[in-house]
Amino acid sequence: MQSPGRSTLCLVLLVVCFSGVLSSVLDTMDSIEFMESMAHPLVLHEEDHKEDYKEDLESEELLSPRCPDVLSIPVVDKYTVDVELSFENVSFLESLRAQLRDLTFPIQVTDIDPVTAILSIEVTTVCTATGNEVWCSYLERAFQEGYRILPGFRSVAVTEFSNSSVVVSFEVKTTMLPAGQIQKANELVLQSLNQTYKADENSFQGVNNETKLSVMPAIIFEGDTVTLECENEVLSSNVSWLYGEGLSSLARLWNGSRHFIYTTVQLTSMSRLTITNFTQEDEGLYACKLVMDIFEFGTEKYINVTPIQILANETTAVKCDNYPVSLNCCSEKKPNWTAIEWKQEGNASVPGHEDQDLNSGCGRYILQANTTQCLDTITYMCEFLSSYRARVCKATEVTFTPAEALIKSPSQDQNLPVYLKNLSVSTGQEELEIQSSPKSLGAVINILNLLSTVPSHGDPEMMKDVLATVNVILGKSVLGSWEALQQDQTSQSSQLLHSVERFSKALRPGDSSLVVLHHPNVEIGSMVVKPGKSHIYRRNFHFPESDLWANVTIEKRQLGNLHPESSVVTVAFPVLKAILVQDAQKKPFANSLVMTTTVSHNITMPFEISMTFKNNHGAGGQIICVFWNFSLSNNTGGWDSHGCRVNSMDRDRISCTCDHLTSFSILMSPDSPDLGLS
């Protein structure tokens, strides 16, 4: 039979070749009926003792049983011939059937050839095309008779004929398929088909497209525990799992060290394959196969593995100055991580604490090493753990260096810009840590102080990094850490101010005669004194968030006494006044800016500097102009009024004049003025 869309006729001819044979003898011979059998739901094929004569009947030698020898008659050759005709134009059907029935014999080509006669012709219409549909009414009636016993039976239809005319595919729709029922239905189908055809009872095969195969997790990473679940409504515990690179290479899987198979039969058949520590070698095609009676149900799925790459520095250096340094690692992919853990190899240990952001897939380990913990090298392992048990590690080798090694290095001045940049970047990254950790704040101050002692000329880029660091540690959110820090180390605020003065004095603007930098918590203004040019130095500072302003002025006659190409630098701080340690008597102070002014070369002539501050003090009390004296209180620093005086004051502003350079501000005392606060 041909594929649907064509009409198919099957003819069975009983042909007898004889010479002078009585017709009565022929009448006594049994005719051989047309027989075809059925397989793979709906397959038809001839009996084993018949041959297929679709294309070349003459090439085949079809022999039939001989007549009994006891008959004293000539031997007669008898053949049964099966002929199939297939055509697309259904209008030819009836006329062709009539012509076939009207075929007449005998035929004798030559005198010596035997006479050939036709005993009978049977013409059967198997399938007829009607529009876009093909009707195989006899076959479908036979299937209907058999499969309607299935619970929830809906319909059955022929879906395809093979080119060999022996295999017919059909589809049965039903809501349930109880064990054993399908076999009984097949037997009923055979009984109906065998009335006309001869069907092979072993040829039935079933295919069910409702087998469900699910995989968890959806995205598989190396090291995951992977679970495959195969589910079917057919109830059978005979389920097997197969694996290979393709369909042709599938091999059965068994329980083992990394494979575990568990099958249950309840409302459905459920089989679960679990594979631990999934690797690239496990990538491939997985199939499950369920067998019930003579039917097989199954499906397959190709599983890919995604490698995980951890991004982290393989080496890093840490200075033993008690300053926090972060070791960071992040996963390139973002699976469902459950934890990010840090481990140290070996017996050595440097204190620190872990921090993790599972949503971004990043982990951090913050180290703080002091001089007593300055070891050579420690390897830290960053390990990611997924919810499906994947574990991925990345190692970072940390080298610890004493902080004093910087200023003793032959290339210290060349390395200083790099150290200042790194300090600026790390301080910005660790801002939250500094806000909550006085030790971290103290470490930054110590490093900044150490770097300020390196003999080197600073450029605007270096000063930019210095002020970026200062801006972070003088933020209002860090005041809590300052308060806790100064309970143990009262000189830290004075040390910070002294560091900034040293950097300011070392600043060389180069080709730029003016450097101006603005931050919320610090500002800088500068000028280079050019020979032969008469200028006045005046810089204004304004901090709107703190409601503070001030300015500084150096007259041109004072600048004329300076060394040519001298740099004059002023740095203003809006919150430093609240941080600097007060004198032992805890005298109150006005809310004003702290401004430090430096000159790059030593001053040999009398010098005078004028400053104006916004007047923020209330009514009453005495206003005093002061500077910060680093040598007071056993070199911890304190306010001093020597060499400074108040020039004028109104409700908006206070003007001061001093005869030296350093850091200045104003104090308010409710008592009689003590011009020597020292």
* Lowest-pLDDT choice from 5-9, 477-481, 576-580, 647-651: 5-9
* pLDDT range class, residue 207, cuts 50, 70, 90: low
CA gap 197, 391 in Å, rounded: 64
Average pLDDT over residues 649-654: 89
Cα dist. 649→9, 466, 549, 615, 621 in Å?
123, 34, 15, 8, 13
Q: What is the DSSP string of 316-334?
A: EEEEESS--EEEEEEESS-
Q: Using the predicted structure, report yes or no on whether residue 674 has a pLDDT greater than 50.
A: no
What pLDDT sits at residue 66?
38
pLDDT digits (tens, 9 = 90+) for 428-437: 888 888 888 8
Q: Using the predicted structure, report yes or no on whether residue 306 has a pLDDT greater than 50.
A: yes
Mean pLDDT for all residues in the chain: 77
Q: Is 635 exposed, middle or buried (0-12, 13-18, 19+ CB in 10 A)?
A: exposed
* Domain 405-669 class, CATH top level: mainly beta
* pLDDT range class, residue 86, cuts 50, 70, 90: low
What pLDDT sits at residue 163?
59
Average pLDDT over residues 246-273: 94
Determine phi and psi for 577, rounding to 5 degrees. -60, -35
* Lowest-pLDDT choice from 52-56, 75-79, 321-325, 634-638: 52-56
pLDDT digits (tens, 9 = 90+) for 317-360: 787 777 778 899 999 877 778 999 998 887 667 878 888 888 88
- Check if the beta carbon of residue 665 is closer than 8 Å to that of residue 592: yes
Q: At what angle do helices 137-147 and 181-193 cross, to 10 degrees?
A: 150
pLDDT digits (tens, 9 = 90+) for 377-386: 889 999 999 8
Q: Using the predicted structure, report yes or no on whether residue 509 has a pLDDT greater than 60.
A: yes
What pLDDT sits at residue 408?
62
Q: Which of 417, 406, 208 is nearest to 321 (CA)?
A: 406
CA gap 167, 171 in Å, rounded: 14
pLDDT digits (tens, 9 = 90+) for 12-22: 555 555 444 33
Fold of 212-303: Immunoglobulin-like (2.60.40)
CA gap 559, 567 in Å, rounded: 10
pLDDT digits (tens, 9 = 90+) for 544-570: 988 899 999 999 888 888 888 888 999
* pLDDT range class, residue 205, cuts 50, 70, 90: low
* Lowest-pLDDT choice from 56-70, 223-237, 239-253, 536-550: 56-70
Average pLDDT over residues 414-435: 85
Q: At what angle do helices 492-506 and 438-452 cross, to 10 degrees?
A: 30
Strand (E) or helix (H) holding 106? none
* pLDDT range class, residue 75, cuts 50, 70, 90: low
Determine phi and psi for 25, rounding to 5 degrees. -70, -40
* Lowest-pLDDT choice from 44-53, 179-188, 364-373: 44-53
Strand (E) or helix (H) holding 418? helix 412-429
pLDDT digits (tens, 9 = 90+) for 20-72: 433 333 332 332 222 222 223 333 333 333 333 333 333 333 333 333 443 44
Q: Does the domain spanning 310-402 belong to CATH 2.60.40.10?
A: yes
Q: Where are the domains of the chain?
A: 1-205, 212-303, 310-402, 405-669
What pLDDT sits at residue 612?
94
- Check if the beta carbon of residue 488 is closer than 8 Å to that of residue 322: no
- Check if the beta carbon of residue 581 is closer than 8 Å to that of residue 497: no
Q: Which of 47-51, 128-132, 295-299, 589-593 has the highest mean pLDDT?
A: 295-299
Label the pairing between strands 315-320 and 391-402: parallel
Q: Do domains 310-402 and 405-669 have the same CATH topology?
A: no
Determine phi and psi for 192, rounding to 5 degrees. -70, -40
- Percent above pLDDT 90 for the chain: 25
Q: Using the predicted structure, report yes or no on whether residue 491 has a pLDDT greater than 70.
A: yes
pLDDT top residue among 23 and 206:
206
pTM greater than 0.85: no
